[in-house]
Amino acid sequence: MDTPRSAALTDLSAGPGARVRAVLFDMDGTLVETEQYWGEAMAALAERLGGRMSAAARERTVGTSMRVAMDILYADLGVVRTEEQFQADTRWIEDRVAELMSGEIHWRPGARELIAEVRSAAMPTALVTTTPRRLADLVLDAIGRAFPDVPPFDVTVCGDEVPARKPDPAPYLQAMAALGVDPGDCVVLEDSVAGSTAGLAAGAAVLGVPSLQPLPPAPGLVLRDTLAGVGLPELHEVLATARETVGA
């Protein structure tokens, strides 16, 4: 799905005021410390293939689809794999990540508190992740245990449930449609280039909190070092600031 950049900017800059109507969260590296599991699994696969994944290659895989990540890994190792081998490698990585995710899940600073504040205000929420459903559910179960009274998300969208993955806007547009909200009234929280690109292309303001990958400045993107101290007032400020940068 291709959303023209000009259309996305129009969505974000339209309408008076700057009141957030919905918050959409990425998962790995944004809410919980699970992004490194993918790195550990890819490093282990690289060793099985007789090589070692470079730090630069690992950084480029953050937030991407398995197809993109594996192509980066193969190129880094200088190996060529058939489609059948790619499918087997993908299953091996996903199985390894599932083992790691079955253990204790650690929150990113401020993430749990932000979800609690947003939900206490009855604001619509979505989780939008490139991770496939069978793995995402392991993390969602752990997140859900922290919120026994109110489910943390109204909508969840996983990487195997969309026509195109981040950096395409399709996952975020699908979640926004399910929530029934206008993209220009949404704030997306992301830690990766692929994810922030997707959120911006969908027409939302994006709060970028880098974890394993630096985020270059972009219209509509507001950067912070951490989610610690971020609440609803700060999200309203993100939306206002993003609209100003888009309109500049």
Tell me which residues are annotated as active site: 26
SS3 call for 189:
strand
Calculate the CA dihedral of residues 203, 209, 214, 215 and round it to 10 degrees.
20
SS3 call for 155:
strand
Buried b (16+ CB within 10 A) or exposed e, 68-88: bbbebbbebbeeebeeeeeee
Sign, CA torsion 181/183/186/191: positive
Tell me whether residue 223 is exposed, middle or buried, using C-beta atoms within 10 angstroms of its C-beta: 0 to 12, 13 to 18, 19 or more. middle
SS3 call for 157:
strand
| Residue 236: partners with Cβ closer than 8 Å, 6 or more residues away | 18, 19, 20
SS3 call for 228:
coil
124: alpha, beta or left, given left = phi > 0 and alpha = psi -120 to 50? beta
Rg of the chain in Å (alpha carbons): 18
